[in-house]
Amino acid sequence: MTTDTAPIKSTPLSELRSEIDRLDQGLLTILSKRRAIAKQVVEAKETEHAILRDIPREQQLLQQRISAGRELGLEAQHVTNIFHEVIAEAVRSQHDHLQAKLNGSTVLTHSSSIAFQGIEGSFCHLAGRSFVSSSSKTSGTPTFIGFKTYQEAVRAVEAGSCDYGILPIENTTSGGINDVYDLLLNSRVSIVGEEKLRVSPCLIGMPNAPISHLERIYASALSVSECSNFLTGLTDCSIEFCNDSAIGAKLVHTAGNKLHAAIASTEAAEMFGLSVLQRNVANQEDNFTRFIVIAKHPQKVDARITSKTSIVMHTLNKPGALVEALLVFKEREINLTKLESRPIPGNSWEEMFYIDFLGNIDSDLVKATLADLTKLVRFIKVLGCFPACDVEPTVVERPEIAIKPKAAIVIEIKEDTTAPKSAPAKDRGYKLVTREHKSSNTIIDVGGVKIGDGNFLVIAGPCSVESREQIMSCAKEARDNGAKILRGGVFKPRSSPYSFQGMGYEGLDLLVEAGKAFGMPVITEVMTTEDVDRVAEKADIIQIGARNMQNFSLLKVVGQIRRPIMLKRGMSSSIEELLQAVEYILAGGNQQVFLCERGIRTFETATRGTLDISAVPVLKQRTHLPIFIDPSHAAGVRELVPPLALAAKAVGADGIIVEFHPEPEKALSDGPQALRYPQFEKLMADLRRIQV
């Protein structure tokens, strides 16, 4: 006997998918509502003075969610992953609220413009979009503006034509991106944010293109480094470099050749109607690039937000200098998240060090740390302080064990006692220049020539560079008689507009050529902020003349370059005013400064200026910086220069800067105070005989 069994009726696939779509929409609605409440939570925390993240409460709630999920048949790890991201999103939303309140109109808005290198579809562009969309930074979409190079993008931010810029700084496969590090050193922008992007470069090309027969692949230099293993496996295929990955995709699209392909993103493939021939061709499966967001001006970070500070420093050229600097962080238990070295152009075998560390630049702890660092380095520059993009996940011990709710935990906020407390000092308008800040003498190393190390050093040369023959002759004369640094003016500040104003950049090239020919560093004066960067590319030392001692805009700019600075005392300036002026340079990060007394204006008319010889011992008591004397400008008459130069050594100066000329009567500037060659030779011999 048989029994007919009715077939089991299954739910159609289309209905199941519709149900999933309905549930997904419900999840999105719930997440949106949760995010809105998270914004209200941070406002309530501000009102009630509650801490931003209550980690014990997060752990307790997460354990409850895990327990509830287990009762519904969900794995503990699955629930943990979901709520880690939910919590991170809430934290980022609260961070954005606090940052917007703290910085006001300077934060990212829908009307902001963002500079990036490349075209739409490049990884840099995708990182910018991710930075904007990953949180509630803006309700609209900012304008993205592509540039051919990183430098052009940075210059747009410097000039204010773009509000922000986004730059790749390091990759998990290829390491640091050197061009960007060099730009940060030499640009006046601040890091205000960061973004990490999972980069999954693909091989893209025309539909059905044969990978084994490809003849040409377009790729950026970074993509070639990231995908080197895959690319070396392709035979008879040339690599053509392009500025960014999306441009490579565009070139393939334009050519329409099936034997051409590009390493780019899937977004670039869709944008140009290309096919993904092979996915994830990077050397590492987890391939991330960290991007930085820059702005023209720094932004403050709320003290409750986990933040990073980024700096670059140039350590002293001695054994253990880097270790001493790093111990400053260790002693205060500050965690370094990045340490990258870069060679210094023009200084063989010397390195700049880029450091990221956890800490807010406005905290007492970080302020004390940076203050101690300035005593140990030649140059330090703060590149920016910004919220860390990574949200520390809530860690639950043994999530497989369900627990019952516990009573609320009260967190007591105590004052941070780890930062050293310094006694209040008299506010004199300066501190970094004082011996209270640094008891040991500053020693400046310029290509092996040491300034301030106890040896009397002579800087010599003509008042101005007039011709190749003249400066070459002067360089040989200086070198042969023991001068260590070659001077020569290329921009001349003159009392009369009709006097010789210098040869400009042509003269700079001649000065540098002469210095290299005779193995001497060179020093020259800069008078405008616009000339600083260009002159600093070639000159070893930058001079700020007496007329510009209180040109605070110029002092701020030279405070941000890595070249040593000689600052001359103003003709009518007090010692206090000189120290206040040099503080501008030190506060900018440049610790390689030495001072020069060049004579002050008094009622006396017998000399061009009155040499304040007593300024040397006074300054030696008050500051750790080297002190020079300029007897040429003080005297104005060549016969008076040698005795003043000898007095400079006798009184304890670290050196002199003196002028000479092969034919002073034909000099185009300051001929009466320039020594003749025999006078200079006798002066150098007399200086060697004096024992102090």
Phi/psi of residue 343, each to 5°?
A: -65, 150
Topology (CATH level 3) of domain 444-689 = TIM Barrel (3.20.20)
Phi/psi of residue 315, each to 5°?
A: -80, 165
State both tokens at 232.
Answer: 């070396």
Compute CA distances 500 → 110, 126, 496, 671, 686, whole Å. Answer: 53, 54, 9, 12, 33
Which secondary structure element, helix H or strand E, spans residue 260, and what is its range? strand 260-264
For residue 328, what pLDDT is reported?
95
Residues of 145-182 as b/e, b for ≥16 C-beta within 10 angstroms?
Answer: ebbeebbebbbbbeeeebbbbbbbbbbbbbebbeebbb
State both tokens at 138.
Answer: 């803006």
Residue with tokens 């991330």: 288
State both tokens at 53.
Answer: 């993240």
One DSSP character per residue, 554-594 reads: HHHHHTTSSS-EEEEPPTT--HHHHHHHHHHHHHTTB--EE
Give the Cα separation of 636 and 83 in Å (integer).
78
**CB–CB of 512/539 below 8 Å?**
yes
Compute CA distances 571 → 97, 132, 328, whole Å. Answer: 52, 53, 40
Beta bridge partners of 276: 204
State both tokens at 298.
Answer: 């720094």
Helices (H) and strands (E) in the chain, counts: 21, 25
User: 380-427 pLDDT, tens per residue?
Assistant: 999 999 999 877 777 765 555 444 444 433 434 344 444 344 334 456
Give the Cα separation of 214 and 264 in Å (integer).
16
Q: How far from chain centre, in Å, is Cα 361?
A: 14
**CB–CB of 296/157 below 8 Å?**
yes
Phi/psi of residue 123, each to 5°?
A: -65, -30
Domain ranges in the chain?
Answer: 34-103, 202-281, 444-689
- SS3 sequence, 622-640? HECCCEEECHHHHHCCHHH
One DSSP character per residue, 294-319 reads: EESS-----TTS-EEEEEEEEE-SST
State both tokens at 313.
Answer: 């420093």
State both tokens at 171.
Answer: 């990759």
Computed over every residue of the chain, the mean pLDDT equals 87
User: 535-580 pLDDT, tens per residue?
Assistant: 999 999 999 999 999 999 999 999 999 899 999 999 999 999 999 9
For residue 66, what pLDDT is reported?
85
Give the Cα separation of 194 and 208 in Å (integer).
38
Residue 690: count of CB within 10 angstroms of its CB? 12
State both tokens at 595.
Answer: 């001072």
Nearest to 185 by CA among 314, 47, 16, 45: 314
Give the Cα separation of 597 and 584 in Å (integer).
18
For residue 97, what pLDDT is reported?
76
- SS3 sequence, 314-352? EECCCCCHHHHHHHHHHHCCCCEEEEEEEEECCEEEEEE
Nearest to 278 by CA among 334, 201, 342: 201
Instruction: Look up the CATH number of domain 34-103.
Output: 1.20.59.10
Residue type present at position 337 = T
For residue 2, what pLDDT is reported?
53
Q: What is the mean pLDDT of each run of 10 residues along the chain (692 residues)?
A: 61 88 89 83 79 80 85 85 81 78 72 91 90 63 91 95 94 86 90 91 93 93 90 90 91 94 93 93 87 94 92 88 93 93 73 93 95 91 91 64 42 40 56 90 91 95 95 96 95 69 90 95 95 93 95 94 94 94 94 95 90 95 96 94 96 96 92 95 94 77
Topology (CATH level 3) of domain 202-281 = D-Maltodextrin-Binding Protein; domain 2 (3.40.190)
Nearest to 154 by CA among 121, 185, 193: 185
**CB–CB of 192/308 below 8 Å?**
no
34-103 and 444-689 in the same fold: no
Planar angle of CA 453, 457, 458, nearest 5 degrees: 165
Compute CA distances 650 → 430, 481, 643, whole Å. Answer: 29, 20, 10
State both tokens at 607.
Answer: 């000399």
Which secondary structure element, helix H or strand E, spans residue 392, and what is its range? none
Give the Cα separation of 152 and 454 in Å (integer).
45
Give the Cα separation of 552 and 514 in Å (integer).
32
Is pTM beyond 0.95? Reply is no
State both tokens at 677.
Answer: 């060659």
For residue 273, what pLDDT is reported?
94
